[in-house]
Structure 1
Amino acid sequence: MLKSFVRPFDLENGPLIRVGFIKNEVLLIDMHHVICDGTSFLIIKEEINKYYNEGTIESVDIQFSDYALNLEEKKKNGYFENQIEFYKKMFADEEYETLNIPNKNDMNNEDNENENGNENENKSENCNYLKEIDEITSNNIDKYIQEKGILKAAFFLSIYGFVLSKYSGQNIIYTSITNVNRINYHTQRMIGMFVSTLPILLKFDKEDETMLDIIKENMNLLIDVYNNQDISFSELSKSLKLENVNNGFVYQPNKSMKELMSNTSIFDEDIYNSEIEDINNSLMEENGISKFDISFNLVENDENYSVSVEYNSGLYDKLLIERLVDSYIEVLRNIDYFETSIKEIEYIPEEERNKILNEFNSNKYEYNHDKVYHEEFSRVAKSNPQNVAIVFNGKEITYEKLDQMSNSLGHYLRNNGIGRGDVVPIVSERSYLFIVAFLAVMKSGAAYLPIDPEFPKERIQCMIEETNAKLMLKCISNPEIRERIKFEKVKEYSLMEHNYENDIHEINNINRSDDICYLLFTSGTTGKPKGTLIRHDNLINYCIYGQTVNHKDVYDDQFNTVLAFSKFTFDMSVGEIHYPLLRGKKIILCDDDEFNNPESIGELISKYNIHYLISVPSRFENYLNNEKFSQSFKNIRFLLIGGEKCNTKILNTIRKYSD
Structure 2
Amino acid sequence: AYIRGVPASLPDIPIQYADFASWQRQWLQGDGLAEQLAYWQRQLAHAPALLSLPTDQPRPPQMSHRGASMSFTIPKQLSQRLQNLSQQAEATLFMTLLAAFKVLLYRYTGQTDLLIGTPTAGRPQQRFEETIGYFINMVVIRSQVEATTPFLDYLKQLQLIVVDALDHSAYPFPRLVAELELKPDPALSPLFQVAFAFQNFVGAKALQALADPGQEGLPFELLDEFHQAGEFDLMLEIFETEEDYRLQLKYNPDLFDPSTIERMLGHYTQLMTEIVAAPGKATSGYDLLPAVERDRLLVEWNDTQAEYPQDQCIHHLFEAQVEHTPEAIAVVFGHQQLTYRELNCQVNQLAHHLRSLGVGPDILVGICVERSLEMVIGLLAILKAGGAYVPLDPTYPAERLAFMMDDAQASLLLTQSWLEADLPLASKPIQRIDLDTIGAQLADQPHTNPVHPTEAHHLAYVIYTSGSTGRPKGVMIEHRQVLNTLWALQRRYPMTANDGYLLKTNYGFDVSVCELFGWFMGGGRLAILELGGEKDPVRILEALSEQQISHVNFVPSMLSVFLETVSTEALAAVNSLKYVMVAGEAFPNRLAQIGQQKLPAEVKLENIYGPTETAIYATWYAIEPGDDRRSQIPIGRPLDNVQAYIMGTEGSLQPIGVPGELYIAGGGVARGYLNQPELTRAKFNKNPFGSGRVYKTGDLARWLPEGNIEFLGRVDHQVKIRGFRIELGEIEAHLSQNP
Please classify the TM superposition score into its range, dividing by the shorter chain length: 0.5 to 0.7
Stretch moving more, 192-201 or 563-572? 192-201
CA deviations 1:138-172 (Å, max 9, x no partner) are 6777788999999543433333443x45xxxxx65
**Distance change in 2, residues 1:224/1:582 (3 Å):** farther
Deviations 1:499-534 (A, max 9, x none): 365456544454544455445566669998777664
Which range moves more in the overlay, 588-597 or 568-577?
Answer: 568-577
Equivalent residue in structure 2 for 1:649, among 593, 599, 615: 593
Aligned pairs for 1:203-352 within 5 A: 238=182, 248-253=193-198, 256=200, 258=202, 289-290=230-231, 292=232, 294-297=233-236, 299=238, 301=240, 307-326=247-266, 347=289, 350=292
Specify the code of the residue in structure 1 equivalent to 2:253: S
Q: 1:411 to 1:257 in 2, by over 3 A?
A: same
Distance of 2:535 and 2:364 partners within structure 1: 29
Deviation at 1:297, TM superposition (A): 1.9
CA contact (8 A) 1:328 1:347 kept: no
- Equivalent of 1:388 in 312, 318, 329: 329
Query: Aligned-pair distance for 1:407?
Result: 4.8
Q: 1:389 corresponds to which letter in structure 2? A: A
| Alignment-mate amino acid for residue 543 of structure 2 | L
Distance in 1 separating the partners of 2:284 and 2:429: 41
Residues in 1 aligned to 2:396 and 2:159: alpha-carbon distance in whole angstroms: 48
The residue that corresponds to 2:735 in the other structure is none
Matching of residue 156 in structure 1 with residue 101 in structure 2:
yes
Shift of residue 350, structure 1, vs aligned partner: 2.2
Would you say 1:593 and 2:554 are equivalent positions? no
Aligned to 1:73: 34
1:543 equivalent to 2:486? Answer: yes
Find the aligned partners of 2:106 and 2:397 in 1 and give their Cα distance. 39
Deviation at 1:600? 0.8
**Do structure 1's residue 607 and structure 2's residue 568 form an aligned pair?**
no
Alpha-carbon deviations, 1:156-199, whole Å to 9, x = none? 3333443x45xxxxx65886422457999989999955423467
Query: Identity, % of aligned pairs?
Result: 18
CA 398–236 in structure 1, closer or farther in 2 if over 3 Å, else same:
farther
Question: Structure 1 residues 458 and 349 mapped into 2: Cα distance closer, same or farther (>3 Å)?
Answer: farther
Find the counterpart in structure 2 of residue 9 from structure 1: none
CA contact (8 A) 1:418 1:446 kept: yes
Contact conserved, 2:230 with 2:251, CA < 8 A, in 1? no
Does the C-alpha gap of structure 1 residues 183 and 477 become closer, same or farther in structure 2, counting only changes over 3 Å?
farther
Structure 1 residues 218, 630: CA separation in 2 closer, same or farther (over 3 Å shift)? farther
- Supply the AA of the counterpart residue of 1:129: M
Matched, 1:375 2:329: no
Q: How does 1:120-199 map to 2 (within 5 A)?
A: 125-135=66-76, 152-162=97-107, 164=108, 176-180=115-119, 194-197=137-140
C-alpha contact (below 8 Å) 1:122/1:315 kept by paired residues: no
Aligned pairs for 1:83-94 within 5 A: 83=43, 87=46
Query: Residue 66 of structure 1: CA displacement?
Result: 4.2
Change (3 A) 1:266 1:367: closer
Aligned 8 A contact 1:175 1:248 in 2: no
Take 1:520 and 1:346, find their aligned partners in 2: how far apart are those partners? 39
Aligned AA for 1:350? V
Residues 612 and 638, structure 1, Cα contact 8 Å, conserved in 2: yes
Bigger share in helix: 1
Contact 1:561 1:612 in 2 (8 A): yes
1:635 correspondence with 2:575? yes
- Offset at residue 586 of structure 1 (A): 0.6
**Amino acid of the residue matched to residue 34 of structure 2?**
E
Cα distance in 1 for partners of 2:593, 2:458 equals: 42
Residue 391 of structure 1, CA deviation: 1.7
1:572 CA drift (Å):
3.7
CA RMSD of aligned residues (A): 6.0
Provide the C-alpha distance between the structure 2 equivalents of 1:601 and 1:608, rounded to a whole number of angstroms.
10
Secondary structure of the corresponding residue to residue 128 of structure 1 = strand
Paired with 1:236 and 1:430, the residues of 2 have a C-alpha distance of 63
**Secondary structure of 1:544's match?**
helix
Give the Å deviation of 1:579. Answer: 1.9
Displacement of 1:612: 2.5
Distance 1:216 1:351 in 2: 27
Local SS of the residue matching 2:594: helix
Shift of 1:640: 3.5
Secondary structure at the aligned position of 1:595 is classed as: helix
Change (3 A) 1:200 1:343: closer
- 2:415·2:434 contact (CA, 8 Å) conserved in 1? yes
Deviation at 1:594, TM superposition (A): 0.9
How far the C-alpha of 1:653 sits from its partner, in A, is 1.3
SS in structure 1 opposite 2:234? strand
Q: 1:595: Cα distance to partner?
A: 1.0
- In the aligned structure 1, how far is the partner of 2:153 from the partner of 2:373? 55
Cα pair 2:544 2:577 within 8 Å, conserved: no
Letter in 1 for 2:481: N
| CA shift for structure 1 position 439 | 3.6
Gaps of 5+ in 2: 213-219, 604-739
**Are the structure 2 counterparts of residues 656 and 390 from structure 1 closer, same or farther at C-alpha, using a change threshold of 3 Å?**
closer
In the alignment, does 2:513 pair up with 1:568? Answer: no
* Structure 2 counterpart of 1:103: 57
Shift of 1:592: 2.3
- From the superposition, tell whether residues 137 and 621 of structure 1 become closer, same or farther in structure 2 (CA, over 3 Å): farther
Structure 1 CA distance for aligned equivalents of residues 324 and 436 of structure 2: 29
Counterpart pick for 1:482 among 400, 404, 422: 422
Taking structure 2 as the reference length, what is the TM-score of the superposition? 0.57
Q: Which amino acid aligns with 1:598?
A: P
Once the two structures are superposed, residues 319-374 of structure 1 have per-residue CA deviations (whole angstroms, 9 ceiling, x without a partner) of: 4444555566567778889979979957486279559955x888753456323323
Partner secondary structure for residue 535 of structure 2: coil
**Amino acid of the residue matched to residue 153 of structure 1?**
L
Distance 1:125 1:543, change over 3 A: same
**Structure 1: gaps spanning 5 or more residues:** 1-21, 26-48, 107-119, 166-170, 204-210, 282-287
Please say if residues 423 and 447 of structure 1, whose CA atoms lie closer than 8 Å, have aligned partners that are also in contact.
Answer: yes
Q: What displacement does 1:610 show?
A: 1.7
Superimposed CA distance per residue, residues 617-639 of structure 1 (whole angstroms, 9 cap, x where no aligned partner): 66445423434785144324412
Aligned to 2:522: 583
Structure 2: how far apart are the matches of 1:79 and 1:341?
A: 28
| Residues 132 and 433 of structure 1: CA distance in aligned 2, closer, same or farther (over 3 Å) | farther
- Conserved in 2, the CA contact under 8 Å of 1:299 and 1:308? yes
| Post-superposition offset of 1:388 | 2.7
Offset at residue 564 of structure 1 (A): 2.5
Given that 2:200 and 2:240 are in contact with CA atoms closer than 8 Å, whether structure 1 keeps it comes out as: no
Query: Equivalences for 1:418-437 in 2 at 5 Å?
Result: 420=361, 426=367, 428-437=369-378
- Residues 32-51 of structure 1 aligned to structure 2 (within 5 Å): none
Q: Provide the secondary structure at the position in 1 that maps to 2:533.
A: coil
Matches within 5 A, 1:438-449: 438-443=379-384, 447-448=388-389
Q: What amino acid does structure 2 have at the position aligned with 1:103?
A: Q
Give the alignment partner of residue 565 of structure 2, picking from 620, 626, 635: 626
- 2 CA distance for matches of 1:105 and 1:80? 28
